[in-house]
Structure 1
């Protein structure tokens, strides 16, 4: 998996591409921790447009990230196909805004 981060007026975006699995742990943690260190950040979008698969370890990484976000809004965007199914089965719509 690869990540690409961007910032714009209090909003950060982490764009993921590839397969989001346990093997992605180091890459995701590095990108997410760098995001949270950005001053003035109030909202974070995680973009799944280029992700074709995610596993239960990825769900755990998202939960940890949400906890570390310390009240900042975390939104999951461009979720479809298998990714959307996994998020729906795990009831992540109750934890995150999913668009």
Structure 2
């Protein structure tokens, strides 16, 4: 664990409230001053069923963590996205609602952003 007192930038996002960061494989947990935490799941360039087990592991870990209030799916690296990935996102969104946690999308661009738009994900996920 790294403790930080000053403003930091993580994956292009600056958060002046950040006190410390815990780094995990493929994800980061951002802790704010009010102890409200967001987990950042960094998705791979190919987001399809082949990523299922890792995606499930990270989502389960973050949803089970009582101190995490939101999960951010970071699409900044995603170049390919299929219907299996959309289905996984929907399944975990339902579980997040049941656990009273928010799921958000950030960094989608190009064809990935178009697919998310066609799937009407803005209606279901908050975009940040």
Q: Please say whether Structure 1 and Structure 2 have the same fold, judged by a TM-score greater than 0.5.
A: yes
Q: TM-score, normalised by structure 1?
A: 0.90
> Of residues 93, 104, 114 in structure 2, which corresponds to 1:85?
114
Q: CA RMSD in A?
A: 1.3
- List alignment gaps of at least 5 residues for structure 1: none
Tell me the matched-pair count: 97
Once the two structures are TM-superposed, the CA of residue 58 in structure 1 deviates from its matched residue by 0.4
Structure 1's consecutive aligned runs of 4 or more residues displaced over 3 angstroms after TM superposition are none
Alignment match, 1:98: 127
Alignment match, 1:58: 85
- List alignment gaps of at least 5 residues for structure 2: 1-24, 32-36
Q: TM-score, normalised by structure 2?
A: 0.71
Compare relative contact order (CA 8 Å, sep 6+) and give the higher one, 1 or 2.
1
